[in-house]
Structure 1
Amino acid sequence: MPFPYKTVLVVGATSGIGLALTERMLSEGVTKIIALGRRQDKLDDLQKKHGDSKVSTVKFDITNLEGIPKMIEGVLKPHPSLDCAFLNSGIQRSVDFTEPSSIDLDVISTEFTTNYLSYVHLIKALLPHLQNRVKGGENAGLIFTTSGLALVPIVRCGNYCASKAAMHQLILVMREQLRDVGQSESGNTAEEKTSGENKKSKGVQVIEIYPPAVQTELHDEKHQPDIKDGRNMGMRLDEFTEEAWRGLERGDEDIPVGTTWKGFGYEEVEMRRKKLFGEMMEKMKGN
């Protein structure tokens, strides 16, 4: 089925996965992108390429948590038709606990704020608008980029892995809370996809994309000097974008991409954990 959303806020739209999926959305019929990022020159380039009728821009640093409500208010006022937010921005830094003196707590805090706390603030600011759309019989969705490292960590960037794992758990719980209050029916999970079931979302659809390592500036040496030639590490960005987009078009609520399906244990571990999560919820309903 076609991608159901037409006016999309993209947080982290100026590079990497965010930019690639922004370009894909525009080519596939999304009528308006509100591109949010920190780099004005990159925002200007995107708007110049597609025109201001297709792309609006917002220069904003999402670590400014106190400024998020006012920023979202400023987005929604000229764009009341906004039906989806794609929360994608993130940073990754290495941390070595064998050398405590090397640990910069400001870097730790910034990484966790960027990858997790800012999302919580954005969700809180966006949900009233999206839920009102659902009550009016219209589509609404939240799309998140987490990571295969949310499922299985690696040693060199433990704080990044922890932030993505926290976001993953929050997404699971939020999806079920929305469903319990009658706001959401889940789209296809990866398990449902393989079994041929086809559930339709009736509420705020909550979608999680799990990338493996992808060739983006996330791994640049200027940010992570312990990685050499990091821009060329991982899955090609165009291949990632194609596979992720197919999942979005299917309406999947979980989209493990590339090696995340097997290499990071989605098939073996996450599908089992989801089953246990469902069983726990059923038990708690009886209490």
Structure 2
Amino acid sequence: MAPLYKKALVIGGTSGIGAALASKLVLNGTKVVVVGRRWKRLEAFVKTHGSDSSSAITFDITNLTGIQPFADTVIRSNPDLDCVIISAGVQRGFDFFQPETVNLSLLHDEITTNYTSAVYLTAAFLPHLKKEPHGNLVFINATLGLIPAMSRTPNYNATKAALHAFVMDVRYQLQDKGCPLHIVEVFPPAVQTELHDEDNQPDLVNGKEIGMPLTDFVDQMYDGLAKGSDQFAIGLGEDLFKEGGWEFQRGQMCDEARHYLNEALIDFVRT
């Protein structure tokens, strides 16, 4: 089987889903550039997989003003880059029944990490990816962005819902212009990663045991990416994207509403 991509940039590649997916890609022939804040982990990744197949860059995606220079450097050093995977994310519990306990600084950081940085990264890498005949932009979202069933993480759920709406509309914009860039959105269930670590979520106990084993998830995600779908879920949300499922129906409703709105606004929008 041919590699999924020539070279993939994996943002959030020091742990969890990002690190495991990066390893899976390398093992299947894709060259990978891993990005994260923790250099020792990045260095260990390159040592494990070899410098012929992997490289690493330290960068903190919450440094929003640094994203464009970061992207410019990456593209200049990796002109063969044909895939960007945005996997970085944080999850925090906030109890609004006790609003005095809500750390608004942490809440703001969660918005920046999970949503705002993804918007900045999209804007920074789109000019390059649009030129690629087989370009890919992959967002690792969360099923909680579709079904906000875990009420202890209201802000996390909201950031993921916002990301989904953003990705859908960017995909529509590019499709309307005939751009072949493949924009993919993956919706994981809970997965056994550091996302649920007690250092990050002190109200949890044995958080790393929550969810689907990481290796099982990444194997299924890789298969889903290989099938070429625009969006898919694994686990709890899987049926939502099947024909007749809630998210499938929402996609149809969006298509119909977009056609109506485009017609209704034709005399009001400058082209």
Shift of 1:163: 0.3
Query: Structure 2 CA distance, aligned partners of 1:117 and 1:178?
Result: 20
Q: Return the offset for 1:286.
A: 2.3
The match for 1:26 is 26
Please name the residue that 2:185 is paired with: 208
Secondary structure of 1:132's aligned partner: coil
Specify the alignment match of 2:159 in structure 1: 163
C-alpha distance in structure 2 between counterparts of 1:176 and 1:2, whole Å:
28
The equivalent position to 1:217 in structure 2, one of 182, 190, 194, is: 194
Aligned partner of 2:137 among 113, 134, 142: 142
What secondary structure sits across from 1:22 in the alignment? Answer: helix
State whether residues 151 and 266 of structure 1, in contact with CA within 8 Å, keep that contact through their aligned partners in structure 2: no
Residue equivalent to 1:260: 237
Q: Which amino acid aligns with 1:223?
A: N
Equivalent of 2:224 in 247, 257, 279: 247
Distance 1:177 1:280 in 2: 14
Task: Tell me the distance in 2 between the aligned counterparts of 1:78 and 1:64.
Answer: 20
Distance in 2, matches of 1:242 and 1:56, equals: 22
Amino acid at match of 2:117: S
Which residue of structure 1 lines up, in the alignment, with residue 64 of structure 2?
Answer: 65
Deviation of 1:3 (Å): 4.8
State the partner residue of 1:186. none
Match of 1:178 in 2: 174
- Paired amino acid for 1:162: A
- Percent identity over paired residues: 39
Give the secondary-structure state (helix, strand or coil) at the position aligned to 2:77. coil
Q: Is the 8 A contact 2:11 2:36 kept in 1?
A: yes
CA deviation digits over 1:101-141, x for unaligned, max 9? 111111011000000000110010100011122xxxx2101
Alpha-carbon shift at residue 271 of structure 1 (Å): 1.1
Partner residue, 2:47: 48
Q: Structure 2: 5+ residue runs without aligned partners?
A: 265-271
Aligned residue runs from structure 1 range 90-101, under 5 A? 90-101=89-100
Q: Secondary structure of the residue that 1:90 maps to in structure 2? A: coil
Contact 2:62 2:109 in 1 (8 A): yes
Larger relative contact order (Cα-Cα within 8 Å, sequence gap ≥ 6): 1
Counterpart AA for 1:228:
V
SS in 2 for 1:286: helix
Q: 8 Å contact 1:4–1:139 — kept in the other structure?
A: no
- Cross-structure match for 1:271: 248
CA contact (8 A) 1:2 1:249 kept: no
What letter matches 2:146 in structure 1? Answer: L
Report if aligned partners of 2:186, 2:232 keep a CA contact under 8 Å in 1.
yes
Structure 1 unaligned runs (5+)? 184-202
Give CA deviations for 1:234-261 in whole Å, capped at 9, x if unaligned. Answer: 1111111111111111111112111221
Residue 208 of structure 2 aligns with an amino acid whose one-letter code is R
What's the offset of the Cα at 1:2? 4.6
TM-score (structure 2 length as normaliser): 0.93
Query: 2:75 is matched with which residue?
Result: 76
Give the aligned residue type for 2:238: W
1:28 to partner: Cα distance:
0.9
Counterpart residue number, 1:238: 215
Is residue 26–residue 54 contact of structure 2 (8 Å, CA) maintained in 1? no
For residues 223 and 130 of structure 1, the distance between their equivalents in structure 2, rounded to whole angstroms, comes to: 34
